[in-house]
Chains A and B, each alone.
Chain A
Amino acid sequence: MEPMPQNTSSQEVYDAVVVGSGAGGGTAVHVLTAKGLKVALLEAGPMLDVATEFKEHKVPTDYDHRGAEEGGKSYFGQGKPFGFFSTTSGGWQLEGEPYTVGEGSQFQWFRSRILGGRTNHYGRMSFRFAEYDFKPYDKDGLGFNWPISYQDIAPYYDKAEEFIGVAGTRENVPSCPDGKFHAAPPPKVHEMLVKKACDKLGIICIANRRAVITKNLNGRAACHYCGQCGRGCQTASAYSSAQVQVFPAMKTGKLKVFDLAMVREVLTDNNGKATGVLYIDKKTRTEKIIKAKVVVLAASACESTRILLNSKSKEFPNGLANGSGMLGRYLMDTVGFGLSGTVPALEGMPHYNTDGYGGAHLFMPWWLWDKHNKLDFPRGYHIEIGGGYGMPSVGGYHGAARRFGYGANMKSKIRESYGTSIGFAGRGEMIPNIHSYCELDPNVVDKWGIPVLKFHFKWTDYEWKQARHMEKTFADIITTMGGKVSGLSASQRESQGISIPGTIIHEVGGARMGKSAKDSILNGYCQTHEMKNLFVMDGASFASNPDKNPTLTINALAWRACDYLAEEMKKGNV
């Protein structure tokens, strides 16, 4: 390929440049433009056209390949992750944009390249962190405290929930604080069985909390229960940053979106200030510059870390804002484990529409928060439920077909067993450790010439033991429901008893917040300790990774950071 020409002609200076349009970037452009700032948004992927991209009302026969993809890719393990219909716009690998993994480590990194990032298809599970989640070190002497408390962020959880819309119920469970909820849909039959079993076992089971609106909000229609949020929601009843934040912000006239703009580094002057960013315009393969008074990185936890690491100069040989050497350190994912079973009580049940609002209607928050002295692992997990009469799809019946042979018998067996299984997924908190981090790979660049990340990751006994507790709990629930565990065999358990790091797609940390510039990158407002006009507003800021899925907290932290940023700007401090 040809060397990349540079084009620095655009000399307009924005109030802020935001890098990345996912949960963090979407919130940033929404809040900053509402405050009247002139904002540039740079997104490495293309613009989003929901009419062509989102497939929630498609069925397999709308395509000759029925979802197996052109040439039957899915039969060779080369189909889209989560299936053809999902709006992933990316996946575990991106063509021409590799990452590497250190010897002895396993790590998988899920990236989406499109306006809205991963929020177009994410699961929308939206849980507040608990009070104790912000001070984990105080609780058990492990990991790190956050520099902020629940009280600091609570008003922003309120704002975020009220704006993006989260359905749920008020339950007063200390491990999972209540929020400002839309009405939650009623539990499905298999979920009621789970709840009964949980009641017996002393496990809390309550309405799920998902970023889906069940009454109209700001021109968005209430959910119509088509059950396919992972395919994108054309009516924006499920939150996606593109539809809910970026598009409205564009209408204010305060936002300019640059798509297919891959940021390489943050530019600085000699006075310790960021002056803008340098990006590769993918359309023309040219280097371009955007100047701004404030730089906000929100390209996803690892990608923002990568940009900072790549913003090397004589003054900053280890990357920007990295005087502490902590950049890339204490990378975390969520501990995952799954088990499934079959439930005789569901056999022969009159079928009904179980699609609902696109995810389980119940879930189990961590219920043993005050019993850790009786457990052999330090942190909690929540449980997600799977089951029901899902839309038939390519690949859904291969196992059953093998089991039952072929012919009339196979056909009736598949019919009878449809919708009778139940699945559980544990989502647990890991303890940040020194073996889990990312750095620049000195030998590899992507097709834009940008050095790529190399990942290192290790689970420890804390996580492994937590996964064993999940396994026992799920088996207990299944048997208490009168069901049979069909999950893992002994030999499988050896290798697959815990999720591969990265695969729960809750990777956070890398530029964590803390009280001191000596051992952290950001302060409690997502502002770098070392550069007043440089912020990181995605999961990179996380000091710990509680069992709650991270996105709602990314929204809330970004909102709080933007309020602070605007205030500081007014005062002339940034």
Chain B
Amino acid sequence: MSNFVPLETLDRRSLIRTIALGLTALGTLDVEAAQHVHTETAAEKAKGPYKVKTFTPAEYKTLQRLAVLIVPPDSVSGSALDAGAPEFIDTLASQNQQIADIFHGGLAWLDAEMRKRYSSTFVAAKPEQQTQMLDALVEAGRELAERQNEELVYQKSPIYKDFTGYTVRRANELGAGVAFFDWVRKMTVDAFYTSPIGFKDLNYIGNRALSRYVVPAEAMDYAMKRSPFA
């Protein structure tokens, strides 16, 4: 199966090749060279401002605001906006009409709902109005999920075998918004955690090149002390 051409410079590719060759020939490892590859990547990404491909300026602003609301900055790390979530969504939407439709439609729904509630677009609304809206969507999403689980049980249970009443789903007036928010949230979260900022937030420190693998005693002691085996 062929993948599309990866976005990498020749430099980076040859760097990796150098590591591989170096390893095979010498059998020892240049840890620094390997680390360099990772730093390279980050630097490569830091070039030039992003050109929006799919969304209108208004839509894009909404995505940017949503990114900050979904993953806000805190003392540990930056926001999903810093991590490039809107770029990520815009890029995939530019490659896939289905995603573009979901977001065009969903963003329009969001502004329409905001106008009904607060006579304002999402972006122009007060921060507490924005979070009220998102809270309502989260709440409605939970209700919907719960009811789906109930239905599953009712359908499965032999007691209700001939009873079809519960399979009729009551429509939730926020249904469309719930589906949209699920999309925005999952793509925003993905963009955040897969970025260098997200790696740092979770403190992921793997995928290195080590000459020896050691487990720090500090970590081992920490867990053992808190375990039933203390």
Residues of A within 8 A of B (CB): 50-52, 56-68, 70-72, 75-76, 80, 84, 88-91, 113, 185-190, 192-193, 196-197, 216, 219-222, 224-228, 234-236, 344-357, 389-398, 401-402, 405-408, 410-412, 414-415, 418, 480-482, 491, 494
Nearest CB on A from B47, distance (A): 13
Pairs across A and B, CB under 8 Å, 13 listed: A51-B13, A59-B207, A61-B42, A66-B194, A66-B195, A187-B215, A189-B223, A193-B224, A235-B19, A354-B206, A395-B190, A396-B190, A482-B227
Nearest CB on A from B159, distance (A): 14
**Interface hub of B34, B193, B205 (most chain A Cβ within 10 A):** B193
A71 touches B207 (CB 8 A): no
Smallest CB-CB A-B distances: 10 pairs: A355-B206, A60-B194, A71-B96, A221-B23, A345-B227, A71-B95, A216-B27, A72-B92, A392-B193, A345-B226
Pick the contact of B198: A67, A392, A395 (CB < 8 A): A392
Please judge, given known A-B contacts A71-B92, A89-B1, A397-B189, whether A226 and B209 are in contact too, CB under 8 Å: yes
User: Bound state CA distance, A354 and B205, in angstroms?
Assistant: 8
Q: Chain B's interface: helix, strand, loop or mixed, by majority?
A: helix
**Interface hub of A57, A354, A482 (most chain B Cβ within 10 A):** A57
Pick the contact of A221: B12, B24, B152, B226 (CB < 8 A): B24
A407 touches B72 (CB 8 A): yes
Chain A residues near B153: list those with CB within 8 A. 491
Pick the contact of A192: B1, B194, B199, B220 (CB < 8 A): B220
Chain A residues near B135: list those with CB within 8 A. 405
Nearest CB on A from B18, distance (A): 11
B194 touches A392 (CB 8 A): yes
Chain A residues near B3: list those with CB within 8 A. 84
Pick the contact of A482: B23, B138, B228 (CB < 8 A): B228
A415 touches B228 (CB 8 A): no
A75 touches B24 (CB 8 A): no
B223 touches A235 (CB 8 A): no
Chain A residues near B8: list those with CB within 8 A. 62
B164 at the interface (CB under 8 A from A): no
Nearest CB on A from B64, distance (A): 15
Pick the contact of A390: B96, B206, B209 (CB < 8 A): B206
Interface residues of B in 92-122 (CB under 8 A from A): 92, 95-96, 98-99
Please judge, given known A-B contacts A51-B17, A71-B99, A221-B24, whether A391 and B227 are in contact too, CB under 8 Å: no
B174 at the interface (CB under 8 A from A): no
Chain B residues near A395: list those with CB within 8 A. 190
Nearest CB on B from A478, distance (A): 12
Please judge, given known A-B contacts A57-B34, A71-B96, A401-B185, whether A221 and B27 are in contact too, CB under 8 Å: yes
User: Bound state CA distance, A50 and B23, in angstroms?
Assistant: 14
Can you name the residue of chain B whose Cβ is closest to the Cβ of A495? B156
B219 touches A406 (CB 8 A): no
User: Bound state CA distance, A62 and B40, in angstroms?
Assistant: 10
